[in-house]
Structure 1
Amino acid sequence: MALKLHFLATPVLFAFSTEEIWDMIVANTNNYAEWKRGQSETVGRPWAPVTKPEMKAFIGVTILMGILKFPRLEDYWQESCKYLRTDLAEVFSSVRYQQISRFLHISDRTQDLPRNPGDESQHDRLQKVRPLIDHCGLKFKDLYQVGKHITVDEAMIPFKGKWGIKQYMKDKPHKWEIKAFVLADATNGYITRFFIYTKKSVETQYPEVGLCTQAVLDLVEDFHHKGPVLYTDNYYTSPDLYMTLHGYDIYATGTLRISRKGCPKELAKSQLPTKSRVRRGFYKHLSKGPLTAGVWFDRRYVYFLSTSHLPSLPDFTIATTERRDGARKVDVLCPPP
């Protein structure tokens, strides 16, 4: 027996959008449709300008299709569909949906700059969606104030189309993805700032550093001299980055690749006991100024760097964490997170 799906407006979607952004998308879509149809020698199906309620319904239906996946597009409009019976026919026809999809345009077509294959330094590969990206960036910041604990990481967006900014990630479930650098609240994962990597240099105040360091420094600009604690993984963590952040009163903690420039040689694996001679919970640290580098052995050596956990501070304690040892659970010494 097929289920019947009722459509309800979701406050979450409209919390991140304004009537101005909907008006812009509707106007640019209609403008592009009129221009595109004027370029074609064949008239094709009759076209009526899309309205704002239609555009909102179109976005909602598209989100639905990402959740409920049917074999064919037409299945979403089939009353006798064996998967799920929807009310899409009461919203618009499948033909109308495909028309809107064909002419959907975020940017103003007249403002899009032509691509110059000989010089792409001034070409914005995201120009067709730039107004929406900029709008989301502002809304993400305005709607939620993150707490003291923040984190920087990558967000991978699966994409099957043809686009030069796609990245190949052999170890990911989706091999071809679009990479975004994001700053999020470390307690709940809310993304408050982001930018999409387009494989080309971007305007930054830190052109002298590498991409990873540049991404972190650009994302935390609004947190200078506010004393947050930033968490990073070993892709970003380095002594140089942490010292720069410390100069902005941003404390940091993260896992570390001990081969990074500036890391203490005393903690290199060659200077540590072999796995067969070390017990779980082994811990060693070295400090220099605001930096503390440490190594901890669980099933393998784990390196970390911190400017927020100094051994000289009174709250620096070695705690225990529960681990399995065969069939039983044991307590293993563990440095502060």
Structure 2
Amino acid sequence: MASSSKKLQFDTSDLDNNMISSGSEDEFAESESDYEMSGGEEDSSFSSSSDNCASANDDDDQTQLNCSANTFVEVMDETSDNPPPPSFVYAEVPGPKHIPANATPIDFFNLFFSLQLFTIMVTETNRYARQVIQSTHLSPNSRIKQWQPTTVAEMRAFIAVILNMGLIKKPTIFSYWSTDANLLTPWFSQMFSCNRFQLLLRFFHFVDNSKLHPPCHPIYDPTAKFQVLVDIANDAFRRYYTPHQQLSVDESLVGTKAHSQLIQYLPNKHHHRWGVKFWMLCDSVVNYCLGFYAYRGAKSDDDKNEIKENGLGYVVVMKLLALGNYMQKGYHVFCDNFFTSIPLAEKLYSVGTYLTGTIRRNRKFLHMVFCQIMLQKKSQRNPVLLVSTSSSATSSEKTIRNRQSVKKPDVIFDYNKYMGGIDSSDIWHTAI
């Protein structure tokens, strides 16, 4: 590397077979297909493997490595005699914070669904109802004529019904109010009449539509109708929880049948294949979501110059860490090969943050010898190259499935352990 203050460890080993969505060939295929379906921003962090190898200096060509099926190399800057810097100190106290004494489940619910959020829901829902009634010619029997302004108490009940519908699956909205013996669930009719619930659902809003730009406008924002909810959620996530040292970054897909330019198609997602894609940062130990934001597509002008210079993955990781001010605190970020690059590793190291992740062999700035290692590794089914600014070049022997003992570099075990936070989060919100 160019500076003695940085060290990288590279490993070419196969990952555990239990890594379904964050490693191995499946991970690579998903990341590539998602990127292409998203419109494919021009990412300057990629180059062909032959270009990378050809760009190495003549001195590098003389470097010899004995490449085996499991080669692990610690790389230090050979141009300086300075010792490596001390490790970044993680001094945070992980866990919940600002929690009421003797808190009950409803107290935790109120931390995230605050009075401020319900007030916004009530204000904008009533506003949108007035706008529709005033601008629409209603038929004599229209249900909309029965509209009465909602309140915070009623809006809380409405959200409770929405959440319970996610737990109790039925084929249609009408079936929740069915009196048939095989569909009857009295709780819903005790909360609302079917007509009142449908009216609330019809007018439910977070923003004033009159202040939004239409889709044809040059500064149209496709996330504007729910961005206020994202902002409030991100604020609550960081206010009430301090994460463990290990963090993970990945994508998450929220399924929807709505018509929007935000819709992405991710064929390898099992819970949904069509939906809105969010970039997400999670605590890798307890899978708590720390921050997220919506991907607006390749045509978006957001961070366009930086994406062109450093790549989309670089920009996503830096923005997510900035959301919660997680830099300069000794955190350790784990990510897959869509995000990992040498410039990202260097940048995070310069701001006191570790990085570990799989990396594609055609990334720019990879040394020629690592291209050779990757090409020579023929014995494994899923050849994988990892980069880490934290793990040392050591191996451990651990017992895995069927009580078999296996010896692998520590960085492999760490990556398998801490890379699944977003996938677990997906399972939770899919279940709800």
The TM-score bracket by the shorter chain reads 0.7 to 0.9
The answer on 1:330 being equivalent to 2:412 is no
* Cα separation, 1, equivalents of 2:377 and 2:138: 76
Given that 2:310 and 2:343 are in contact with CA atoms closer than 8 Å, whether structure 1 keeps it comes out as no
Deviation string for 1:251-307 (max 9, x for gaps)? 1111222222222332335652532xxxxxxxxxxxxxxxxxxxxx5x543321000
Aligned to 1:214: 315
Aligned to 1:246: 349
Q: CA–CA distance in 2 between the matches of 1:93 and 1:146? A: 42
One of 367, 377, 389 as aligned partner of 1:307: 389
Q: What's the counterpart of residue 26 of structure 1?
A: 122
Which segments of 5 or more consecutive residues in structure 1 lack a partner in the other structure? 1-7, 276-296, 312-316
Structure 1 counterpart of 2:291: 193
Tell me, in whole angstroms, the C-alpha distance in 1 between the residues paired with 2:181 and 2:198: 19
Letter in 1 for 2:264: Q
How far the C-alpha of 1:178 sits from its partner, in A, is: 1.0
Deviation at 1:84, TM superposition (A): 5.0
The letter for the 1-side match of 2:366 is C
Q: Confirm or deny that 1:178 pairs with 2:276.
A: yes
Separation (CA, whole Å) in 2 of partners of 1:18 and 1:233: 35
- Root mean square deviation, CA, Å: 2.3
What residue number does 1:135 align with?
Answer: 232
Q: Deviations over 1:108-157 (max 9, x none)?
A: 2332233335x2xx221111122222111111111111121111111111
Distance in structure 1 (CA, Å) of the matches to 2:397 and 2:184: 50
- CA separation in 2, counterparts of 1:249 and 1:162? 42
Does the CA contact (< 8 Å) of 2:374 and 2:385 recur in 1?
no
Q: Any conservation in 2 of the 1:107–1:130 contact (CA below 8 Å)?
A: no
* CA displacement, residues 176-220 of structure 1 (integer Å, 9 cap, x when unaligned): 121111111110111111111111132589453211110011111
Deviates more, 1:106-115 or 1:27-36: 106-115
Instruction: Give, in angstroms, the shift of residue 10 of structure 1.
Output: 4.2
- CA distance, structure 2, for counterparts of residue 147 and residue 237 of structure 1: 21
Report sequence identity in percent. 28
* Letter of the 2:310 counterpart: V
1:144 aligns with 2:255: no
Alpha-carbon distance in 2 for matches of 1:251, 1:309: 9
For residues 215-234 of structure 1, what are the structure 2 equivalents within 5 Å?
A: 215-221=316-322, 222-234=325-337
User: Paired residue for 1:289?
Assistant: none
What residue number does 2:199 align with? 99
CA distance, structure 2, for counterparts of residue 12 and residue 94 of structure 1: 29
- Residue 38 (structure 1) shift: 1.3
Indicate if the aligned counterparts of 1:182 and 1:219 stay in contact, CA closer than 8 A.
yes
Partner of 2:216: 116
CA distance 1:73–1:180, change in 2 (3 Å):
same
Q: In the TM superposition, what whole-angstrom CA distance separates every residue of 1:207-250 from its partner, at most 9, and x where no partner exists? A: 53211110011111212211111111111111121011111111
The structure with the greater share of residues assigned to helix is 2
Query: Match for residue 261 of structure 1?
Result: 364
The answer for unaligned runs of 5 or more in structure 2 is 1-103, 415-432
The structure richer in strand per residue is: 1
Alignment partners' CA distance in 1, 2:355 and 2:382: 23
1:35 equivalent to 2:112? Answer no
SS at match of 1:106: coil
Taking the aligned partners of 2:304 and 2:108, their CA distance within structure 1 comes to: 32
Q: 1:14 aligns with which of 110, 129, 148?
A: 110
Matched residue, 1:321: 398
Mapped to 2, the partners of 1:227 and 1:270 lie a distance apart of 30
Supply the AA of the counterpart residue of 1:193: G
CA distance in 2, matches of 1:248, 1:270: 30
The alignment of Structure 1 onto Structure 2 pairs a total of residues equal to 297
